[in-house]
Structure 1
């Protein structure tokens, strides 16, 4: 029978490849900007820098010391990633002899436009040791030729070139840009695809996919931040201190090393712990004065949320340190006694220890200005402060008083990079924030991983993160992340590179479950299973007499660190535990594990905590679930989203709970939901896209498409505004009430937390979802109704190589039609939505009259064409 509902929209183009791997075009040699935004000072032919004609050049000139430093601001239009480079065509200076050693060009980058107007761009970011600390690279010019940075800049739309050389000086720049380190495959050629009649939704899908491209890091593409030579030790340029990975439990010791300052100074740290800041000592060599400083923090330059504190400064000019000369440094750490620093056999300084009896990431945020936390044990690290270039060699750490050698190295062999966790990245991995958090954080990809399966299909990147965590040794909790350069072949337990929390471990269990459902990779389950059981055993040991999970201190940490720890009994954590137990019960029943007894035990644990949440976490007076037993005031977005999605919320409370969700929107500029209601004490007012994605899922599961659509439009609207100075074509970590990035430039503008629309649209508007590992069985159930949507089409990659392809269209007043293609080896079911099915007068399947129900089988490798004719 001929179709009575002919499609009126063109089909999607075929994907570039049918392989279930990260499809990649031949990468361009260089990523060049697309326009000159503005210039300052004496700049000629700025447009030449946009071309690939290396004979043409832009010229920056500074005639006198009173002239402004000439600069060019360049725009890429959207965020890119890579290693900064410049090609200098020529240099002119009125000075005779060699170029002045201070001749330099600053290469500054930023995601949003406001950041590029700052001297250091939108950085530095000194938390992620192993990544480039700065967002401003200083190229020290020695003549014409190609200059490359040694480090990756992970996400930036804006680039500023500034001549900082003494006058008179002129430089001709032929090229400037990035050597790409991640995929730049056009989004319409990805393995996965989504299109619909609403262009805003199409943009959201693409912004998530582009964010994933920037965060997927191929193996051996992140260079170590140290350069090692056999006779000169390690060369370090403006990098935060990296600590030896196996020294976190050292107590009393003295550390010795030999060092050389090439520019500015050097830095080292003692008693450093995993994660939190530590004591840093910095030598600064100036023109007429040399100083030794004591800091507490990560670096000697402030950055939002990571504010360092200068504790003390001592003049050490009398020691006679000179640029380019080696000198010996010894630091003595004993008990609570003052730190003693000896340079060239001369006592250079005695610095106090902190007295604050607290630890953790926020330990000194509220302490007096002249105080800081006391640290009586920890490792040793070396680095360089801002605009400092230095060398280190011949390091030894000896215990006091027994003289045991704790560590010894000439720092002149590549193996030293693994000691300090900063070698080349061994695996493909995915970071959660391309600019800032460039560790393979495993738990933070709970949203981004799902979006990856529907778009880039780069499953090897998610697998790399999971395996990285599984190869770590330590407690039964699962490592939340680690530096990409950690040597995973070493069996000794490392203490410096672990971030361990219950929530992060539970998220990782869900990441593993999602990976298995989308790939069917049973071999990964076999790698993970013993660690999974250990993690759940650790967590179950913290169940109290009421059947609720109760944890404290860093065990209670979570990705929303800015909201403070949710210690004790947390509703969200308990709902998350129920979710993880159910996922692990399903894994236990798989053919790869096949432990029916353990599966039943996990299900019983989940049912127990499910009931305990309902009985003990609901506050009858406020008619909502508590945040924690000590934080009952206010309404938490994410906790209630998990409760709804897992069916823990009693049905009679559903309508009332969505009314409470509306309270989250009362103060925001466009009605986007906050993560907590304004009456919640001690939390900032933040719009969290990751929490909003969970709320969207809760709304979809509750049949409330209008609520889900409202959140999609309102939360992501500021990111899609191309007139915004913050636009990058990628998705942001979090937002303020006014729709601008939260915490200013510290916010990651290419963050997996916010890539949720990519999977939400493919899973619920296109309708494709795996219901048996590896898509062996799947459903096609378009159930998120977007107002006015006329059609949607797309493809979803599968592990058999071919995609599941779907195309549907609504015909005004006449009916609805859908075409589905199932790859060989996979079978599915089409579930027609109640909105469509309730209006049927006739149903045709492949042109034949159909008399069955709204669930229609899709045989293995079949094509199915369904028309629902309306009455």
Structure 2
């Protein structure tokens, strides 16, 4: 299994290989490890820019860029650019700026990626001497890193380049293997894609290599303060700082003194234009204390400076490297905490903070060798984002797919739990739940505030996502806590179900199904099938929480919507669901969702499956595949995993050295042909749910009651010879394997305490066979009655399987053998 795992083994990630070099580069391989040896880039006058192109490997990780310089000549400026696909980093015009330019993706109406991700896909560093250089912003996902020297007549010796990983690194607790090598690779690529988009947090402040990196998040205050210090009056506040260059606006470092709270205190700032700015912050508003002070020294990015502020009554003295820069007198604030203030686009690193009383007594000190418990700043819970490179925000609808990767591979459910809680917080008073949210936001939405992506479709995903979480994890405590959110959300949806039983999609909340503008109004099949599922999943939650009357009510409302869908959205001539009431247009997404949730009857489904050929969206093709397995169209399902069509090709990407080995949302492969410099397509969206398709159907293990208290092992063997796997559950690990030949089938099950299992044994084409359980014949297809020596085990069958029901915890060996007539 180890050969398939893409998760980095260490937070410190070095390049897999040097792909190529250009210009005068010596010993480029040394940049791949911290072994004390160096790579050298030399840019002679009139020469060629020297560059090293690093391949970070198929995991294409993200994180904080860190590199160490051993020496330099001249005044070198080093450029580092990032891209997830090879063609984008070698583009002759745009490659040195990375794969997309700032502001090139704005379809949400907000800038992507959001902080603490870098909105630029390149960085510039002035190399002033030996030492470690750290980027204060994250580069989200990349396979390729271009390291280039930009200044003629200079050289730089670099000991190493690496990334400080910021994504989840949880160990695998589940696995999947089969006789198909491509499917094995796809399972691990899909589960790793969920990991790279799972963040323990996106806090405003963090520590990297002993440096504090303070930043502002998009929806947070730009100030962070010491926990202690309300009563500090006259003191000396000091620290070391480095300012990192921003390719756009002038970067700076900012500090806070005598702060009553994050909105009131004195604020100072030194920028790369060598200027000092002094403010008093009153209720969050910056008021200048004096005109800008031109410093007597030149401030250079990458240089470490020592700042000291001396407070004596109303007098404020600012020192830089021991030299007095300014004296200001103001009596607005006489006491208070210290901290740092970093507005958007102002990037700095801080270390060695000290606060001393006038007599020399140490009031506070932090060298950032530990944690940040001495500080108060904007913090977030963990969450699963829609992608690591671009859409670094959680999206409600996408969690359904993402979760089905997580549950089969890991026993760390905190990312899903925290993300679900974030969306519960973003419910409006009338019950609508936002489609996308900022993890750091602490302001509840008001009436009619529909968020950044106004979509009832996304709002309707809340109950299904929570129900899935409960089904796989058994976390009824969270279900109980959030049940009021479910109830209010379902009441909101029911308000727009009209007399024909159909949900009417209003203009105000009509974004969805890949329509990023408000226009999808009317009675659409996809949204109605989703609303129906939302009520069904609401009933599931209510039943398991003992809310029987609510469960009955939700089932009744689901029945009304089901009737409306079948009467008004099912085309009896074409035998499929149409896009809108009154339309004749086939809609792939609606029909895929319908079979994925088991909505059609047997007479409907064969016709639907015959029409589900291709789509340009991998996540909806995944829904279609789920439904095909559900209705036992196994050959079509496995065929679509291998060759989806419509531009989608999961396995093709896994064989391509040019990009990440991931299973992303759109999954257009090769990637979409966006203009050079605007290739913001994200290859790290975890919403393909391949782990569920392979572990849940091909292997066959699925929960039937919350937390796997009841589960089934019913394999869809397709054309495979064998499959094995383990599934982490709250009750312990389920291990299951099967193998088959033309005439025989064998399976092995280990189930933990507290579970009850159903085993499905595929029926062969032959008529005469016997099934053995732990060596005892328990079923004969002809000639003899079934034998059940194990009390409590029931046997029944349908046209595809023999089912053994009521299996208690333990180990089971199952064999199906042909009866040979002597």
**Please, what TM-score do these two structures have when normalized by structure 1?**
0.69
| Residue correspondence of structure 1 range 582-601 to structure 2 within 5 A | 582-590=536-544, 593-601=545-553
Q: Contact 1:483/1:497 (CA < 8 Å) preserved in 2?
A: no
What is aligned with 1:402? none
Describe the shift of the 1:742–1:870 C-alpha distance in structure 2 as closer, same or farther (beyond 3 A): farther
Contact 2:125 2:244 in 1 (8 A): no
Could you give the per-residue CA deviations for residues 384-419 of structure 1, whole angstroms, max 9, x where no partner exists? xxx9xxxxxxxxxxxxxxxxxxxxxx998569989x
Change (3 A) 1:58 1:415: closer
| Structure 1 residue 660 corresponds to structure 2 residue 611 | yes
> How far did 1:322 drift?
9.7
Give 2:15's aligned residue. 33
CA distance in 2, matches of 1:241, 1:191: 35
User: Which residue, out of 744, 747, 750, partners 2:681?
Assistant: 747
**2-structure distance, mates of 1:690, 1:197:** 25
Q: Residue 171 of structure 1 corresponds to which residue in structure 2?
A: 156
Alignment equivalent of 1:636, drawn from 587, 595, 602: 587
Q: Which residue of 1 aligns with 2:722?
A: 791
RMSD over equivalenced CA pairs, Å: 4.0
- Provide Cα deviations, 1:40-66, integer angstroms capped at 9, x if missing partner: 122111111123312x111111112x4
- Contact conserved, 2:759 with 2:805, CA < 8 A, in 1? yes
SS in 2 for 1:582: helix
Shift in CA distance, 576/743, structure 1 to aligned 2, threshold 3 Å: farther
Aligned-partner Cα distance in 2 for 1:543–1:604 = 13
1:113-192, aligned counterparts within 5 Å? 113-117=86-90, 118-123=95-100, 124=102, 126-132=111-117, 133-164=119-150, 166-184=151-169, 190-192=172-174
How far has the Cα of 1:180 moved from its partner? Answer: 1.8
Structure 2 SS opposite 1:90: strand
For residue 637 of structure 1, report the CA deviation from its aligned partner.
1.4
2-side partners of 1:563 and 1:491: how far apart?
24
Q: CA-to-partner distance for each residue in 1:475-532, whole Å, 9 max, x for gaps?
A: 4112323223334xx6686969765521112222211111000111111012211111
Q: Distance in 2 between matches of 1:806 and 1:539?
A: 41
Contact 1:732 1:741 in 2 (8 A): no
Residue 809 of structure 1 aligns with which residue? 739
CA distance in 2, matches of 1:647, 1:640: 11
User: For residues 869 and 263 of structure 1, do their structure 2 counterparts lie closer, same or farther at Cα, with a shift above 3 Å needed?
Assistant: closer
Counterpart of 2:432 (choices 477, 484, 488) is 477
- Partner Cα separation in structure 2 for residue 651 and residue 742 of structure 1: 41
1:703 to 608, 632, 646: 632
Q: Deviations over 1:260-282 (max 9, x none)?
A: xx999999xxxxxxxxxxxxxx8
User: Matches of 1:599 and 1:556 in 2, distance apart?
Assistant: 28
Picking from 664, 667, 672, the partner of 1:732 is 664
User: Contact 1:84/1:179 (CA < 8 Å) preserved in 2?
Assistant: yes
Listed one character per residue, the Cα deviations across residues 747-788 of structure 1 (whole Å, up to 9, x for unaligned) are 21121122x2211100011111100011111111113x322x
**Residues in 2 aligned to 1:241 and 1:486: alpha-carbon distance in whole angstroms:** 9
1:528 to 482, 491, 494: 482
1:325 aligned residue? 275
Question: Against the structure 1 CA distance between its residues 415 and 42, is the aligned structure 2 distance closer, same or farther, given a 3 Å change threshold?
Answer: closer
Of residues 34, 58, 66, the one that matches 2:39 is: 58
CA contact (8 A) 2:251 2:272 kept: no
Residue 311 of structure 2 aligns with which residue? none
Matches within 5 A, 1:242-321: none
Cα distance change on mapping 1:796 and 1:264 into 2, 3 Å: closer
- The Cα offsets for residues 50-103 of structure 1, whole Å up to 9 and x where unpaired, read as 23312x111111112x4332111011221112211110111111xxxxxx5xx4
Aligned length: 659
TM-score normalised per structure 2: 0.73
- Summarize deviations over 1:283-332 as a string: whole Å, max 9, x none: 999xxxxxxxxxxxxxxxxxxxxxxxxxxxxxxxxxxx992336799xxx
1:597 CA drift (Å): 1.2
Q: For residues 474 and 562 of structure 1, do their structure 2 counterparts lie closer, same or farther at Cα, with a shift above 3 Å needed?
A: closer
| Contiguous gaps of at least 5 residues in structure 2 | 106-110, 223-242, 253-270, 280-287, 292-301, 303-335, 347-375, 779-785, 787-794, 797-801
Residue 605 (str. 1) matches residue 535 (str. 2): no
Alignment correspondent of 1:85:
66
The answer to whether the 8 A contact 2:538-2:551 is kept is yes
Structure 1, residues 594-648: CA drift from partner, whole Å, max 9, x if none? 2211111110110111010111113456553221248x36422120122234454
After superposition, the Cα gap between the structure-2 partners of 1:199 and 1:518, relative to the gap in structure 1 and judged at 3 Å, is same
- Structure 1: runs of 5 or more not aligned: 1-11, 17-22, 94-99, 246-261, 268-281, 286-320, 330-341, 346-386, 388-409, 663-672, 675-686
Question: Do the aligned partners of residues 177 and 566 (structure 1) sit closer, same or farther apart at CA in structure 2, a change above 3 Å counting?
Answer: same
Aligned-partner Cα distance in 1 for 2:745–2:453: 50
Q: d(CA) in 2 for partners of 1:429 and 1:732?
A: 18
In structure 2, what is the equivalent of residue 447 of structure 1?
A: 401
Cα separation, 2, equivalents of 1:181 and 1:38 = 27
Q: Give the SS at the match of 1:443.
A: coil
